[in-house]
Structure 1
Amino acid sequence: MNVSQTIATDEGLLTCLHISFYHPQQHYKGLYHLLPLGNKSKHLADESVRLGRDAQSCTFALADPRVSRKQLALQAYRTPESPEMLFSLQNLSQTVKVSVNGTSLDFLERADLPSKALVRFGEYEILIIKEASEAKLNFEVELEVLLVPPSRETGNCEPCNLPTIEMGTHLIPEQPVQVPIETDEELTIRSLDNPPSLYTSGTL
């Protein structure tokens, strides 16, 4: 991946997608260690940016067995009516639904992204904010981690399966959450009370 420290190129300033992650168990070590947090990565506008568990087939990988091998894709596009680069999000998972600002997407379904979007899948909340520019050939992505759920700021609180209680800067489920674990052969269920071995004590 071509990581850039600047946003100025021969074509001028690049459109930048600021992507912020939140997960209630993110304090466990290893969840984001494959992500280039804090760096801007440059991408060709005609190629999709994929997020998932498989670091070989995805642009950005989450070290989490609950995430599908290929979870979602971001694709840039343009229209005759707008000089700005626009983006759509497509759900690539056959087992985990993705929602964009409350609209649920099944496998291969796609939604246009507004300038500010709250994306959810599993227990992840991802805030995507677009910093627009008129550059046509490339765009940038910057990743970071949030300490609180972005749904608090956006007010976009989708129906939850479990009630929550507020504790510090995190929302803590009142009872164990059942989350699907995707494997090559079958879908199994594991409780967050017994997190996978990749989650060990420590910091991000």
Structure 2
Amino acid sequence: MPVIVIASSKGGAGKSTTAVLLGTELAHAGATVTMLDCDPNHSLSLWASKNKLPKNIETVSDVTESSVVKIIKQHDDDGRIVIVDLEGVASRMVSRAISQADLVLIPMRATILDATIGARSLALIAEEEESLGREIAHAVVFTMTRAIRSKQQNGIETSLREQGIRIVEPPLMERAAFSALFEFGGDLRSIPSQGNMEGAVENASSFARAVYQQLAETMK
């Protein structure tokens, strides 16, 4: 079943937040999800260590460059979605994980710096496509956005679309509830209230539906 890889060559772009929100929302919708923590910062494992792992989710840590492909294939079962949270550098592990992906998500904040460094992830995907002789579906996810989009974000989006790069809509907004997941564990429906919880749940749910739709189109 589908393998979704979360990749960005820049730290602090929101990879682990994207992975946790996507995994928990897909699990809430009934999917069985395995989440691989390949980031040396172990943010995903920190979230999972709170002993409030939502139903239908398992996490795997201590994934290495030599084992990442094997572990992905071990968990790539019928009815299961594998989500891989990668380290924030361009590395052999990142390339190996991308080679197994049905969809690569590239989180980035709406800044010129993030967009510039994010281009490295797009280059890695292009290299793997050339090596494998097939296309690897991918899309940009804007993270930590505001309700009113800046001119900078609009300009970056326009540039990406002109290059034929997909952008997941809606973006993930800057919300206290999203960061609180790493403090409390669980999902948006189990943590203590953090600001506008209804808005946070709707944002995360709509994001997960959009990703699932892109994945379904890719796997037709």
Rg bigger for which structure? 1
Name the structure with the higher strand share: 1
Name the structure with the higher helix share: 2
Q: TM-score, normalised by structure 1?
A: 0.32
Q: TM-score, normalised by structure 2?
A: 0.30
